[in-house]
A and B are shown apart, each in its own frame.
Chain A
Amino acid sequence: GDSVTQKQGQVTLSEDDFLFINCTYSTTTYPTLFWYVQYPGQGPQLLLKVTTANNKGISRGFEATYDKGTTSFHLQKASVQESDSAVYFCALLASSGSWQLIFGSGTQLTVMP
């Protein structure tokens, strides 16, 4: 079945460091992939959406590219700020009776000042 894997549970960086979060997916359909960010006390917010039509997304300094060959969809940012501290979720739009989002397990990013 469709699935998403995020192996990095926690990432701790200093301001201006480079961010790279791994995500791999498995699906039998053409993937639509998302990165959501969740700040404390809030619901997940859309950060990026990537489809087969546009295999790259850029938003708020974050970039994600999906690679069909390796079925990967990594999130990166050149220079993180303390305000980027949050939980980041990779998600796959999958069909299981009806369309729904399948989320990865999340990566807690902590950026030290």
Chain B
Amino acid sequence: NSKVIQTPRYLVKGQGQKAKMRCIPEKGHPVVFWYQQNKNNEFKFLINFQNQEVLQQIDMTEKRFSAECPSNSPCSLEIQSSEAGDSALYLCASSPDSQNTLYFGAGTRLSVL
């Protein structure tokens, strides 16, 4: 069983609504990634952190998505104004360092109606 905890498992939002999901990385893992997996099983990298600092994020993330990994709190990914195309499985993964194996949570499945 994964030690990366993602909540909620399912999220249903209307278009234009905010959608927020959380991730508790595996203990001792300072590196956190967020990926979006669509219905065709394609993975899209969104953003990654080392401790509380953003390492890299894609343009989409900079505009409508916001994410943070505060110390002593769960990491979070929030979509400010959901669109139908945001419907996907959002995966959080953690790693002991930036060039190591990623360990994934079960994901949050977002449906935007």
Please list the residues of chain A having a beta carbon within 8 angstroms of any beta carbon in chain B.
32, 34, 36, 38, 41-46, 49, 87, 89, 93, 96-101, 103, 105-106
Closest-CB distance, B68 to chain A (whole angstroms) = 17
Which of B13-21, B74-82, B104-112 lies on the face that meets chain A? B104-112
**Residue B98 interfacial (CB < 8 Å):** yes
Please list the residues of chain B having a beta carbon within 8 angstroms of any beta carbon in chain A.
2, 4, 6, 33, 35, 40-43, 45, 48, 55-56, 91, 93, 98-99, 101-107
Please determine whether A44 and B104 come into contact, CB atoms closer than 8 angstroms.
Answer: yes
Choose from B4, B45, B107 the contact partner of A100 (Cβ within 8 Å).
B45
* Count of inter-chain pairs, beta carbons less than 8 A: 53
Q: Cα distance A105–B55 when bound, in Å?
A: 25
| Nearest neighbor of A97 in chain B, beta-carbon distance | B56
Q: Cα distance A103–B42 when bound, in Å?
A: 8
Closest-CB distance, A97 to chain B (whole angstroms) = 4
Please determine whether A43 and B33 come into contact, CB atoms closer than 8 angstroms.
Answer: no
Closest 5 CB pairs of A and B: A43-B104, A98-B55, A98-B56, A106-B41, A103-B43
Q: Cα distance A99–B55 when bound, in Å?
A: 9
Closest-CB distance, A22 to chain B (whole angstroms) = 16
Please determine whether B98 and A99 come into contact, CB atoms closer than 8 angstroms.
Answer: yes
* Chain B neighbourhood of A99, CB < 8 A: 98-99
Please determine whether A100 and B106 come into contact, CB atoms closer than 8 angstroms.
Answer: no
Closest-CB distance, A64 to chain B (whole angstroms) = 14
